[in-house]
Every structure is written in structure tokens, then in C-alpha cells.
Structure 1
Amino acid sequence: MRAELGRSPHTVRAYLADLRGLRDHLRREGRALADLDLGVLRGWLGAQHAAGASRATLARRIASARVFTSYLHRTGRLESDPGLLLVGPRRHRTLPAVLDEAQAAEVCAAAGGDGESPLALRRRAVVELLYGTGIRVAELCGLDLGDVDRERATVRVLGKGDKERVVPVGRPALDAVDRWLADGRPRWAVPASGDALFLGARGGRLGVRTARRDVHESTGAVARTGPHGLRHSAATHLLNGGADLRSVQEILGHAALASTQIYTHVSVERLTRVYRQAHPRA
């Protein structure tokens, strides 16, 4: 998954956890790996469903099983690939919760509080950059110093599948990053920090869990949200402001336009405005 498919460490961990569950199921049933067939897979998923697993969880476990059985078949451990016949439940596409534009402005203004400590400066920069670019929290944690281009007002991001893209960024986010670089990062930097843009208190690269905590603790007093809520909000506000769907797809780094189309459902204001302007009987 890492070398051939370019999956993220988070995805690899999740799939391995699923496959350990499948291994345990085989052991409980007294079956060997060579016995893995469609019936065994369905029994495993049926047990997960009975235990209360959600549609999204079942869909991911089916994906894990398919990758695994394909590998087993390709390497000669299984005569056929039972994962090809595995059909799972359709995932419900839920509308993301988003901040309105006034809330987003208030969240950014409140991020980090009034402090000038490295922690406060980092939190302010993290919140501003996540909302200002719409990038994923893992992408933010992977940024290096050279990835921020102040002259062009862009950020170079390494996204899912190791796909690189360039994302525009606004002046407030760049200013927050500059303050972190001038007054925050040098106080935490150590020889092992390398080129990491954001650092933890011990000088290592900022971790995803810590970045999430930065967002939650910076925004809780205004509107409880996390990094993905800022990403949803950025996408929705872009569409409300008149951005086309393809441009938003590029900014977010979605491989398929269908992933971006969910934001058209939360951009009711923009759709209503376009309808009133364009339809002769509006």
C-alpha cells in the first residue's frame, strides 16, 4: 500500500487494523488463510454489522479485504480472488457542518488568543493556513519551509497518493506564518528539526493529533470545529463567492469531481443567487 499505491500512513494503519480483525475471525472459526473465500468474508462482515459497525466502517473494511485478497491471489496464496465478488453497503453522503463566513472570521481572529508564545503563534498560523487554503491537516503537517512561496502567494502541497499540487493562499495566512517563523519556530527549533515548517515543543515535526488539538483549543470559544470543518468551510465559502467546481476540486486535491460536488448541497445561497440571475421565470 505504501510502495505501490502511495497510501497515507493513516490509511495503512486503518487497513492493517481491519486485517488483524479478519485474521482473528479466521482463528475463531478454526480456518486457515487458504480457506479465505466469499463465505468467510461475508461471515466476518456480518459479525461486524451485528456488533454495530457503521456503513462507512463496513465500506472501509470491504476495501481492506479487497486489497488483501487481490494481493494473496497475485502472489499465489489463493487460487481465486474472492474480494472481486464482495459487495458492500452504499455509504450515506452526509452534508458537512460548516461555519458561516462571520464565524470563520471570528475563529481566525481568536486563534491562539492574545499570546505571543510559540504555541500561540503556531496555533494562529495553523488555523489561518487550514482555512486559507482548504488543505488537509496531514498535508499541513507535511509542509516544509520551502513549500510556502510568498511572492506568488501559494503553498506547494503533497496530497493523497503522493500527488503534488499548488494551492493559493491569502495574505492573513501568510502573515500568520511569517510571525510563527520569526518569533515562534526559532525558539523550538533544534538540529533535528530539518526543514519542517511547523514544529512541536520538542523541535520535531508537528504531528496530526497535535495539529487537531491546536484547532480545537483555538476555536472552541467561538465555534467548536476541527481541521476538517475548516476545510469544509473553505470549500463552501469559495463556491458561495463564485468559484467554479473544477477550481475548488483542484484546490482541495480531490481525485474525482464527485467528491467536490457534495459542497454544492451546502452552497444554497450561491445556487439561489445564480438561479435568480439566470432563470427567466425566477
Structure 2
Amino acid sequence: MTPANSSNRNDSGNKANVKNELIDAFLEMMTVERAASANTIKNYKRALSDFSLFCRKRSETLDTAGASDITAWLAELEAAGISASTAALKTSALRQFYNFAYSDGYRADNPASTVARPRTRRPLPKTLSVEEVETLFNAANEASGEKGARLRAMLEVLYASGLRVSELVSLSQSNIQRDENILLVRGKGDKERIVPLTARAVVAIDEYLAVRSAKNAPWLFPSRSAQGHITAARFAQLLKALASKAGISVQKVSPHKLRHAFATHLLEGGADLRSVQQLLGHADITTTQIYTHIAQDRARRLVNDKHPLSTIKRDDS
């Protein structure tokens, strides 16, 4: 990122361009990888623009702002009487923006990491149940031809590995270590990690490669796109169509929500948090901890709904 202490007019213009490019990159990631709604994108863009204007009054920019700037802005908003939900949305925008900037190497620090969340209870992110994932697979099994085989392979690999959608679509055949059935994945921050594949995923890949027309393509999932491989946006569209065919709400299905499901179902099955962190490629284990909350919430609901004594009141007389 450009230096923050230059007063030269050209440097100021360059900083503005970097800022805008970074915001654009962040919003593109939210759209493609997180399947964020148009309304969320609009709200996040507005929050970042408002914070940028606040920083300017303090002779700072998005590039140079620190935790004290974020805290001061939130305090100003609270004094202006904004609702707790609006404060939570704006805080979320900054936390995710700076987490993205830090994870992708645009900043050497994350100034939002120490900022306290607003005093409001946010609902846990919804994730697909095991039964819903099985329903998706069953619908995918009905698809025919090369495109059907490709969809099954991508679905199996995603749920078996928990890859980010950007990592999934850009897999090359050299990423697959066939002798050990593992993937070598280069993720955020150019960090490499090893992810094992299930036997089902390996079979799905083999079945797809057997019918794939582009025999010599370096990408595992080639296409006619500018990148040479299927795009994240196109795969997200295919998943939505598959969800509709399977009778599952399309709002519940996206590549990122299948990544959620991978992590949640592993923890529900007894996996330890550190292993799940490594598989997901999270730099900070606190990012992974949200999945333990989801698993705990499900366990709590299961006990309350299914335990034979859950609805029987105690007689304390």
C-alpha cells in the first residue's frame, strides 16, 4: 500500500486509487466468495465510504487508520443515536474489510482486530445440515454428461476439503497428489497447506477426468473464461440451480456455505478445533471458533427438542 505521510498531490491521488481498488477487491471477494447480497454490498460500501470521510477529517486514510480511529468513529455514531443493529453492521464492514486487507497482504496489521463488537447479539450464521448436503449430492447425481460430472467433482471436492471457492476453481491437476489422495493448496497470503481428499472425492475426480474433453488442460476445471478455468461466479450460479432442483432454498446454498458446512460437520463429528483451522487455512484460530458456536447451538437445540425429559417440569414442592 502507498505511504500515508506524503502531501504531494499526485501521491494523494495514488492513495485514493489504492483505497478504491482495495475497496473494490474487498467487495468483489464478498460477492464471489461469500455470496453476499446486493444489499449487504451496498451497506458495506457505504460504511467504508463514511469511515473514509471520517478518517480524512483526522488526516488519516483507510490505509493508515488505526484502532483508535475506528473506536472514535463508532463512538461518534453512537452519540448520533444510531441503532445497535446499524452499529453492528458498520463494525462488521470494517472488521471484514481490514481482515481481508491483512490476510491478502495489503496491510501489515489488522486495526479492527482489537475493536470490541457492539453490544448486540448477532445470530449465528446458518449452515446446511448433513441431510441437506446429501440431498444436494443426490440432485447432482442426476446430472448427465461432462458438465454433470464436473459439477459432481467440484461439489465432492468442496465438501471434502472446505476450500475457498477461489482455491477450488483455480485447482490444477498438479495440485492433486494421487499417491496419497491429498491436495496441495496455495491459499491466502500465498500460504501452502495440505488437505486430504475423501475416497468419494477421488472417485468423482476420476469419473470427471474420464469424460473431460480438454484432456491436456492444466486446470482441473477448465473453461473458456479469461482465466482459463471455471469462474467462482459461474460455480456459484450452478450451485444455486442445483439447490433449486433439490428443493432447498437457494439462499441457503453457496460455495462459502458449503465451506461452513464442512467445518461445522467436522466439529460435530468430534474433530478438534486446531485441525479444522489448519484445513480451512485460517491464520487466526478465533476465525475458526465461530464453527464451534454453531455446533454447540445445534447440540443445544437437539437436546431441547429430543431429550425425553426436556419438556417435563420439575415438581419442587
Tell me the TM-score range normalised by the shorter chain. Answer: 0.5 to 0.7
In 2, the alpha carbon distance for the partners of 1:66 and 1:34 equals 23
1:197 lines up with 2:220 in the alignment = yes
**What SS class does the counterpart of residue 104 from structure 1 fall into?**
helix
**What SS class does the counterpart of residue 243 from structure 1 fall into?**
coil
1:102 lines up with 2:125 in the alignment = no
Identity percentage of aligned residues: 29
Q: Could you tell me whether the CA contact under 8 Å between 1:185 and 1:199 is conserved in 2?
A: no
Deviation at 1:153, TM superposition (A): 1.3
Q: Which runs of 5+ in 1 are unaligned?
A: 69-82, 274-282
Deviation at 1:102, TM superposition (A): 2.5
Deviation at 1:186, TM superposition (A): 1.8
1:246 lines up with 2:274 in the alignment = yes
Deviation at 1:160, TM superposition (A): 1.5
Query: Structure 1 residues 132 and 24, CA, compared in 2 at 3 Å: closer, same or farther?
Result: closer
TM-score (normalizing by structure 1): 0.66
In 2, the alpha carbon distance for the partners of 1:18 and 1:234 equals 32
Q: Which residue of 1 aligns with 2:88?
A: 55
1:156 to 184, 187, 197: 184
User: Which piece of structure 1 moves more, 106-115 or 174-183?
Assistant: 106-115
State the superposition RMSD in angstroms: 4.5
1:130 to 147, 158, 163: 158
Q: Could you tell me whether the CA contact under 8 Å between 2:164 and 2:255 is conserved in 1?
A: yes
Q: Which residue of 1 aligns with 2:242?
A: 218
**What SS class does the counterpart of residue 245 from structure 2 fall into?**
coil
Deviation at 1:107, TM superposition (A): 1.2
1:175 to 203, 219, 226: 203
Q: Could you tell me whether the CA contact under 8 Å between 1:142 and 1:158 is conserved in 2?
A: no
Query: Structure 1 residues 32 and 66, CA, compared in 2 at 3 Å: closer, same or farther?
Result: farther
* CA distances 1:192-213 after superposition (whole Å, capped 9, x unpaired): x5x2211224582121111211
What number of residue pairs does the alignment pair up? 243
Deviation at 1:25, TM superposition (A): 4.8
Deviation at 1:156, TM superposition (A): 1.2
Deviation at 1:232, TM superposition (A): 1.4
Q: Which runs of 5+ in 2 are unaligned?
A: 3-21, 31-44, 102-110, 304-317
Deviation at 1:236, TM superposition (A): 1.6
* CA distances 1:77-116 after superposition (whole Å, capped 9, x unpaired): xxxxxx89x9675496542322222222221232263311
Q: Which residue of 2 aligns with 1:74?
A: none
Deviation at 1:219, TM superposition (A): 2.6
**What SS class does the counterpart of residue 186 from structure 1 fall into?**
coil
